[in-house]
Structure 1
Amino acid sequence: MFRLLFVLCGALTPVLCCDWLERYHKLSNDSLVHIQLMGGGLTEQQSPVPFPDKLYRQIYKAKVESQLVFIRDNLELIGCLYRHDNLSSASWDPIRIKHFLDIIYRQAEEVTACMSTNRTTNPRLRDFYRRLSNSTVTPTGGSVASWELIRKQTVRLLQRLDLLAASIRRRSPPNPQRH
């Protein structure tokens, strides 16, 4: 009986005891507002790197723990995109960039606190971000157009992560300790 309870608690802990899920939507919305207000309208130019739709479709079928790892990894990799020497050419509001990155790092920390494992990043996800950076910012030396492509992709990534977190929230049973 004790083993069964231990197994059930271990499996449900990320969902039941994680206040992060309650705050995620607000933080996600805040990060989207900051990134959209950092510059003007989003570019119409298409990214040279296709969006990782297949990875997102696969992760929707995965267990919650894997989904949390996926969200954390995306947030950390998004943060890495913007830790670039050539960011100054983007002509974005530096205060908004700082606030945006603060929210991204906070989200990554909070989702990490919800995880019972410290699994590593999916190599295909890491490859997507590497290709995105290498095909936009790196070859242009950080041109304004390349940063606008990164910003456009970031908005799309954050929107999809918000949908994924919402699906986790919908599947999680209510927790009476939440406020």
Structure 2
Amino acid sequence: MTTFEILWNRSQCSACKWLGRYRTVSADSLSLLKEMGGQYPENIKVPFPGPLYSSIGLDEVEDQVKFLVLTLDHIINLMDATEHMKSVQWDPVTVEYFLKVLHRQSSELKECVAHYNKPSHKKSYEIKIKRHFRTLRKILKKEKYSAQAWEKIRRAVRTHLQRMEIIVTSSVTV
């Protein structure tokens, strides 16, 4: 290995040291999400792109981090619809703090992405995750932003955050 390769590998590792702290911030976001609405209703079915997460879990760390950023940004856009949350009894301060934690996760991961030199070779996940979040928005709209529709969304977001944590945990241990 050349000196350049050693230095480049070190800079890549130090650029994403934040991945090691991701679990702490992720635990905060999951805790706030639960606090927003209490127990998750077990009888609610929500579409989820499980196979997409399984395939992303096998990709290179760079592509995983790019996927996490993309997914976090979709979650933020979905949950930042406070004008449509009148039917749900969530504490607005908790929702706001939840969004701040998600913004922090996204911005920290974007700093990691900025250190990656090569472009992503996985554009198909962008289309799939965009399609999934479009489906979640349609659920809200179809159910007229009802409290039950928002609970479906909250449950889907919980599943996303949990699966994202699994991806980060596996990429940090590699």
TM-score, normalised on structure 1? Answer: 0.84
Q: Displaced runs of 4+ in structure 1, greater than 6 A?
A: none
Matches within 5 A, 1:153-172: 153-171=156-174
Change (3 A) 1:123 1:15: farther
Query: Contact conserved, 1:45 with 1:149, CA < 8 A, in 2?
Result: no
Q: Distance in 1 between matches of 2:6 and 2:84?
A: 48
Q: Could you tell me the percent identity over the aligned residues?
A: 29
Matches within 5 A, 1:1-179: 5-6=4-5, 9=8, 13-49=11-47, 51-84=48-81, 85-115=83-113, 116=116, 122-134=126-138, 136-171=139-174
Query: Contact conserved, 1:15 with 1:64, CA < 8 A, in 2?
Result: no
Query: Contact conserved, 2:36 with 2:94, CA < 8 A, in 1?
Result: yes
Q: Distance in 2 between matches of 1:88 and 1:105?
A: 23
Q: Name structure 1 gaps, 5 residues minimum.
A: 172-179
Aligned partner of 1:107: which letter? Q
Aligned partner of 1:176 in structure 2 is none
Per-residue deviation, residues 123-175 of structure 1 (Å, max 9, x unmatched): 101111111121x211122100000000011111101101110011101xxxx
Aligned partner of 1:125: which letter? I
Alignment: residue pair count: 167
Q: Distance in 1 between matches of 2:6 and 2:76?
A: 34
Q: Look up the SS of the partner of 1:110 in the other structure.
A: helix
Instruction: Give the superposed CA RMSD.
Output: 2.2
Per-residue deviation, residues 12-63 of structure 1 (Å, max 9, x unmatched): 64444323112211000000000001012111233352x1111111111111
Query: Contact conserved, 1:79 with 1:105, CA < 8 A, in 2?
Result: yes
TM-score, normalised on structure 2? Answer: 0.86
Change (3 A) 1:80 1:7: farther
